[in-house]
Amino acid sequence: MSVKANQAQYGRESARRRGVARAFTAALKEAAVAAGCSRIEWTADTDNPPALALYEALGVEHHKGKVFYRVQV
């Protein structure tokens, strides 16, 4: 099954380092499994070390086989 969504999620500074992202990711994974999805994909800015550290701590795989493109209109 392919379900596509384009929603940006950001954590407030006051909520960071309190387990909110870990809980959100766990709930998202449960919802994806329930919907019959096999994976969740997202992007992160390379100049955002806190986000990259979070994703590494969550144990997600850094997929090097994709390139992100964007065009301004």
Tell me: the pLDDT tens digits for 2-42? Answer: 666 667 777 788 878 888 889 989 999 999 999 999 888 88
Half-sphere exposure of 54 (CA within 13 A, CB side): 20
**Separation in Å, CA 24 to CA 9, 36, 66:** 10, 18, 24
Pairwise pLDDT comparison (52 vs 1), residue with the higher score: 52
pLDDT for res 2: 65
Q: What confidence tier does 1 reach under pLDDT thresholds 50, 70, 90?
A: low
